Every structure is written in C-alpha cells, then in structure tokens.
Chains A and B, each alone.
Chain A
Amino acid sequence: MKVPNDLLYYKSHEWVKMEGDTALVGITDYAQNELGDLVYINLPNVGDELSRDDAFADVESVKAVSDVLSPLAGRVSEVNEELIDAPELINKNAYTAWIIRLKDLGDMDELMSAQEYEEFLKKEA
C-alpha cells in the first residue's frame, strides 16, 4: 500500500497535500483498494463550508457507497470535475486524483504524517 512521504493523512483514510495556503484532499491508496472499482462520485459545490469530519463527497464502488470526510475545516475552492466521468482515476492513482481543493483552512491538529499513518494502518489491520 502506497503512503507517499510528502502528504498528510486523516484517520478516515483521506490524504491532504498542502499547496501554499490551500490544501488538496483525496482518498488514500488503502481506501481505494478497500472500496474496489469506483463507478460514481458525488462532488460538493465550490463555496461549500466544511468542518472537520463533514462528509463532502461520496464515492461508490460496484458494491458499496462510502462518504469521504473532510480532514480539516475549510471552504471548497475547486472540485476535480474530471472524476465525474472517470471516478476510476482514483483507483489508478489515489494520490494524483485529488477530489477537492480547500482554502481558509482550519487547524491541522488531527492530521498524521506518512509514518504515523502507516502505523495507524497496521493497527487497523
């Protein structure tokens, strides 16, 4: 399971990539692998205000639907519309297929480093 070093992680298996004062958010390789083939994604609207743990998107595999939770507070400034027609991009590379960009970010106290997330995954297993 890939866990790139330059990203931060959340307990519900989202990743965060800091870019200036914004953050890209997606789901981890572990999450996409658990979900299986993704066939549908429901995206939020630009401008949506999110608190930490808000479900901002849902991703559906052939078998199941799962909420994607926001790892930190912020406002949605961009959504990756490419995923609408090609949710399988998340299966192909979970770390390039970002879902939303957040700005006006809240605190990052709950985020884990790559090393911490790997430890977390071991405990979950």
Chain B
Amino acid sequence: MEKKTPLYDLHLALGGRMVPFAGFLLPVQYETGVIAEHKAVREASGLFDVSHMGELRISGKDALKNINMLLTNDFSDLDIGRVRYSPMCNASGGIVDDLIVYKFAQDDYLLVVNAANKDKDAAWVRSHLQGDAKMDDLSDSLAQLALQGPKSREILSRVADAEMFPTKYYSFAQDIPVAGVSCLLSRTGYTGELGYELYCAPRQAAELAEALLHAGRGLGLIPCGLGARDTLRLEAGMPLYGHEMSDEITPLEAGLANFVRMDKEEFIGKAALAEKGEPGIIRVGLRILDRGIARENSDVFADGIKIGQTTSGTLAPYINKAVAMALIGRDFSAPGTPVVIDVRGRKLPAEVVPLPFYQRPKGT
C-alpha cells in the first residue's frame, strides 16, 4: 500500500497521473506532459512535490564525529547554514545511499536521503552511531517542495522577503515565512537550474504549493512530475541511486571522487576503497549518433568487446539529443571514444562525451 504525500489531492486536482514510486503515490506527469514540464524548468520554473524524500536528523555532542565516520565527504569545515553532498558507503566501498547534509548547529545535522533507501539508511546509521549521538527519523513530519528554474527567485520573492533568501548555492535559511508558511528554504535542487527546496509542516504543504503556483502565474511556472525530474537530472549529468549507484558500485566508479575524502582519518569504506585503488570502470556520458534511444541496462561495446552497461538513458528534451550514462571500462572513457550500444538487438552507434550534457548559462 503506497503512502500519499500531503499534496495528493492537489495532484489529482491538477490532473497529475499518479504512479507508485518508492512507496509513495506521486505524479509521473501532469496533463502538460514530460517534455513541456522539462522545458518549463529550463526556461521558466517548475514545482515538484518531493515530500517522499527521507529526512534523518543526527544530533548530540558526537554528531559531527559520527557524520564524518558515516559519510565519505569531509564535514569538519562545513559552516552552520550550509549544505554538503556526500555518498555513504558500506564497508566494501559500495554506496549505501547518496544524500545531502544540512548543518543546523555544531551538534545538529539533517540528512536528506532517497525515499527508496530511507529505511535501509536509518537502520545503517542507527547501527553505526557511537558515543553521544542519536538519530531521529523526521520523514513523516516534513513535506518538501522543489521550485526549480531561472524564474524561481522572482516567483519566490512574490510570496516571501527576498532579503531573507539563501544566496549561495548549497546554503539555507530557517523559519522563512513563504506565503505565511514557515519554511526551511535551501538553494539546492536536482535539475541543473537555479532553484530552491522548501521544507515545511505537512499540514501546510498544499497551502504552500498553491500559493507558489499562484505566484508563478504569468511567469511560466507549472507543476512537474517524476518524469521531468528524471529527464532533468539526467540531462544535467546527475547520478541517481539505483541507476548509477548501488550497494555494489563505489563512489569512485560512479564518478564521485570529489566527494570522497581519502585524506580524512577514517570513514566506513575507506579501507576497501584504498585497497581497490583506481577503479576499473567509470561513469561516462554517451551521445547516441543514430536515430534511437538507449535506456538503462543495455550492453556497451567497443571494438566488438563488451566494456560495460548503460545505467540511464533518454531523449534529453531540452538539448533534444538521445543521451545515456554508462559504467564502462576506464580505458574507453576518453571523450570522443566510439562505442556501440545494443538496444534490444539494434546496434546503436554512440560516442563518449563529457558530463554534464547540459549546463545552465552562467549568471542565471
């Protein structure tokens, strides 16, 4: 039985096509369709219900010590009011989940995790906590909306005081009234655009969403579903757990070396990653050169030899190109390398291209 987010009725009223996802009923798209929703986020703004995301709070005198042990990134120098991304590894170096961490105070942090992994993460974190630290699962007491796209700031400033907005990427502000609803407002997102994520009490989420949609009238804001969320992150070259990451795939293989601080004294998975050394496979971007679309789990060949598999693929709606991400042998990972993808028996020519496939214009 899937859970409903606090916006369920609003989704229905807006014509959302509801599908089960990670234990929740969420709109995969609205009447407008995935392509229009995707383009709205690139050119104007889109509003997403991401209330399914999990939120785990870690607090206590030893909170920082625990976070540094649990996560591969280094949080020692993270300032209060800032957000930082990190993989969380198991002892073999595989990825338990990838998440973002909000720092409220020296002894108080919030981990925002993938919905599908939330219970696994909670059990993992709880079983590894040491010293004076505790974990609380706040997932049911927080709703989350994502307002994404170049017009997001303008829309938000119609219902909130722009002076109070977090200005830096990956920073946040608490207790910001947005259309009268108290929010944690963060400059984060999963679309490759300027955008904000808003956390509020579930009972006020629908009111907040309606106020934002109203404020966005005339500025091109439309509600967007999971379909566009996926095509947007893929076009922006962002990995997704269950595709580019898994309990078996290491963050070095997933191309997340920047978020793995091997110079840190200790973290779970460090020894295994050090022992494995330079990974044999690596995440790359592929552009399909012929007509056709590659999806996930298609074999990738170079010189007739299988070198890996695609992990995600779609027609990227904004750049209007068929692209995929794949985990392939490092020897073949240089941009320009020609490869062939076997798509249900069809051999599609493709080439390795740099990630991301799309980057938003500077200064937006």
Question: Which A residues are within 8 Å of any B CB, using their own CB?
Answer: 36-37, 39-40, 42, 58, 60-63, 65, 84, 91
Contact = CB atoms under 8 A, between A and B. Distances in A.
B90 interface: no
A90 to B, nearest CB: 13
A40 B315 contact: yes
A29 B36 CA distance: 19
Interface in B131-172: none
B231 interface: yes
B65 to A, nearest CB: 43
Contacts of A39: 35, 293, 315, 317
B29 interface: yes
B318 to A, nearest CB: 11
Contacts of A60: 293, 315
B245 interface: no
A61 B228 CA distance: 12
A40 B227 contact: no
Nearest to B316: A62
A70 B132 CA distance: 66
Which among A39, A42, A60, A62 has the greatest number of chain B C-beta atoms within 10 A? A62
A32 B117 CA distance: 33
B291 A40 contact: yes
A35 to B, nearest CB: 10
A84 B291 contact: yes
A97 to B, nearest CB: 16
Contacts of B322: 40
B28 interface: yes
Contacts of B35: 37, 39, 62
A62 B39 CA distance: 13
